[in-house]
Amino acid sequence: MVRPDFPFETDRLLLRPFTLEDVDDVLAWEERADVHRFLYSQPRSRDEVRKELARRAAMTGIDHQSQAIRLAVLLRDGGALVGDVSVQRTSMEHQQGEIGFLFHPAHHGRGYATEAGEMVLRLGFEGARLHRIVGRCDARNEASARVMERLGLRREAHLIENECIKGEWTDELIYAMLATEWFARAGRMAQEDR
């Protein structure tokens, strides 16, 4: 169980829960069709973003009250709100979780999703003590698959036309990491840093 003290800082980013004041920044990516291209969701209006933010603002822990931590990602340099990362518990019995990430296209290609993704993996494994965390994406979503590979998740499955999304049969990739793999990787990285 984990209900952390926010914010968190990485080298370049600050992660904190969403608030209703984030509506303009979040609308800037939520209203764009390209952002939702490979997602189940559709572009959202300002009202829809406001409702979403009320839901997301409550996602601040993995415990008896909440099953997810969903965080706004800001640049430490300048404070711009550039993305959204999450880790949710999908099964308490089996200690399974799932990560997600989404960034404004103006901030792609700089490694921010990978940097924020490391933080939510840490929260999932070291805070919530999850046993296994997955990441899933449309097989055409190469940028997302690359983030999961950079994070060290293993590709476990390529499901063929398992879903019909936005009127198209689509393939899905399933990536996963076990807690043992996370701690082995974290140990390796600590040694490399020495």
Ligand X SMILES: CC(C)(COP(=O)(O)OP(=O)(O)OC[C@H]1O[C@@H](n2cnc3c(N)ncnc32)[C@H](O)[C@@H]1OP(=O)(O)O)[C@@H](O)C(=O)NCCC(=O)NCCS
Select the residue interacting with ligand X from 18, 112, 125, 182 (CB under 6 A). Answer: 112
For residue 20, state whether it binds ligand X (rule: CB under 6 A). no
129 touching ligand X, by CB under 6 A = no
- Residue 109, interface with ligand X (CB under 6 A)? yes
CB closest to ligand X, residue no = 111
Measured from the CB of residue 10, what is the shortest distance to ligand X in angstroms? 11
State yes or no: residue 38 binds ligand X (CB under 6 A): yes
**Is residue 41 helix, strand or coil?**
coil
- Could you tell me the two tokens for 41? 């969701």
x/- mask, ligand X, residues 135-174, rule CB under 6 A, reads --x---x-xx-xx---------------------------
Q: Does 114 bind ligand X (CB under 6 A)?
A: yes
Cα(73)–Cα(83) distance, rounded to whole angstroms?
A: 5
- Count Cβ atoms within 10 A of the Cβ of residue 170 and give its class: 0-12 exposed, 13-18 middle, 19 or more buried: middle
Q: Is 176 in the site for ligand X (CB under 6 A)?
A: no
User: Contact between 86 and ligand X (CB under 6 A)?
Assistant: no
Which has the closest alpha carbon to 137: 152, 151, 157, 123? 157
Binds ligand X (CB under 6 A): choice among 22, 49, 61, 101: 101
Measure the CA–CA gap between 114 and 27, rounded to whole angstroms: 22
The pair phi, psi for residue 176, each rounded to 5°, is -155, 155
If DSSP codes are grouped into helix, strand and coil, which group holds residue 54?
helix
Interface residue list for ligand X (CB under 6 A): 35, 38-39, 100-103, 108-114, 137, 141, 143-144, 146-147
